[in-house]
Amino acid sequence: MKKILTADNTETFLNENVKETYHSYTGAVEEALKKYALPCNIKEKAKSGQLRILDVCFGMGYNSAMAIDVALKSNPDCQIEVIGLENDPEIVLKIQEVNPPIKFFKYYKQLTPDNLSFIKKNVSVKLLLGDAREKAKELSPNFFDAIFFDPFSPKTTPEMWETALLKEMWRVMKNDAIFATYSCARMVRDNLKEADLLYSDGPIVGRRGPGTIATKWI
């Protein structure tokens, strides 16, 4: 994999198979904060004392590591649980090669394809390696407060945006959970609707169009 320096001076990698980077060229860490942690109201949700995050297509973990920073700043005693879904062990190995300005990320360096979980005080992180479409079926219903949905684009990996997987997201979300993704593609939003997820525009970060946030239709 080729390492890429993004505009906010943080690193990502180019996946040669799909010819896409794991983060936006405009800023890998900026994206983690503004496309996921902020629109999912992590700061406010942490004040409840418990926070559960599902990080779909975990990559190197920037999105959930940033959310942990935000949550602990809001409530240092918050009990945080992160579950990540990732299909590619090679990108997990790349965690060792990057040092983003995310305070909690140093603990993510414990993660390898042979060591898929760790606990640091009141934070637990667990990575499930394999096809997210199958691994999602193993997750408990009505469990997560936030879902960060970050596959490669609908153009290159349309199977990751199909209604079946989005229905699994609906199943594992709490009633007040928030789903966030960077894409606003018509197909994505149509499939969210089919999965009984109510969508609206997310923030515009480094793209011409907005991201998408969604909540459960109950």
Q: What's the chain's average pLDDT?
A: 93
CB burial string 11-29: b at 16+ within 10 A, e below: bbbebeeeeebbbbeebbb
| pTM exceeding 0.85 | yes
- Look at residue 23 and tell me whether its pLDDT is greater than 90: no
Mode of pairing for the β-strands spanning 20-21 and 11-15: antiparallel
Higher pLDDT, 122 or 23: 122
pLDDT in tens, 90-118: 999 999 999 999 999 999 999 999 999 99
Q: Give residue-wise pLDDT tens across range 114-168.
A: 999 999 999 999 999 999 999 999 999 999 999 999 999 899 999 999 999 999 9
Say if residue 21's pLDDT is above 80.
no
Which residue matches tokens 């939003």?
A: 189
Residues, the chain, total? 218
Q: What is the pLDDT of residue 207?
A: 64
Helical residues (DSSP H) of the chain, grouped into ranges: 28-31, 42-46, 62-74, 89-93, 105-108, 132-135, 163-172, 186-194
Q: What is the model's pLDDT at position 206?
A: 65
Q: Is the pLDDT of residue 8 over 90?
A: no
29-216: CATH topology: Rossmann fold (3.40.50)
CA-nearest of 148, 192, 190 to 36 is 148
pLDDT band at 205 (very low <50, low <70, confident <90, very high): confident
Per-residue model confidence as pLDDT tens digits over 68-78: 999 999 999 99
Percent of the chain with pLDDT over 90: 80
- For residue 204, what pLDDT band results from cuts at 50, 70 and 90? confident
Question: What are the tens digits of pLDDT across the range 165-181?
Answer: 999 999 999 999 999 99
88 pLDDT higher than 70: yes
